[in-house]
Amino acid sequence: MTKKQRALEIIERLKKEYPDAGCTLDYDQAWKLLVGVRLAAQCTDARVNIVVEELYKQYPDLNALAEAEVDKIEEIVRPCGLGKSKAKDISACMKILRDEYSGKVPDDFDALLKLPGVGRKSANLIMGDVFGKPAIVTDTHCIRLVNRMGLVDDIKEPKKVEMALWKIIPPEEGSDFCHRLVFHGRDVCTARTKPYCEKCCLQDLCKKIGVNEK
């Protein structure tokens, strides 16, 4: 079985297991997803979803957040950790969207990467979830699982994992595939406990438990 064949079978099984999997950050506008994904660095999505409720209560639109004092933003987002740097990035990012993009989030990958606090993971998330374009989000779940499954060979650097997956994952499947990996990584193929291989829908395909085709 080639990596591409393995990937296609894994995609189909995860579709059946998690048919409704999607982004676990709450947002109803593109700029809010940018804020959420910045706050999610080294923080759970569940905590971010709680924190942004207060943030948007005080600053309900992009212009209000762009005009907010950085220390006021920091007071609210501090529970997400790294409050000072996250508040600074969010403020700068909202100002750029207001001043250079007429309050719109750009649908260009390279333009997103130029925004403060936005890396490849965040840019891919925006491209896939907001604009419906091909995207591969290499978060910690994705990196852990695709290594265990044998889709990549002991690659831990996010960009290298992303580049390897582009070669074997159909572009139209990438975004949803990565969302499903998050659900599978939280519920079954866990990081902090022994993986629950006995209830995994992929156990006969998984390199970690004995399948070693390349």
Q: Which residues are catalytic?
A: 121, 139
Write out the DSSP string of the chain.
Answer: --HHHHHHHHHHHHHHH-TT----S--SSHHHHHHHHHHTTTS-HHHHHHHHHHHHHHS-SHHHHHHS-HHHHHHHHGGGS-HHHHHHHHHHHHHHHHHHSTT-----HHHHHTSTT--HHHHHHHHHHTT--------HHHHHHHHHHTSSSS--SHHHHHHHHHTTS-GGGHHHHHHHHHHHHHHTS-SSS---GGG-TTTTT-GGGT----
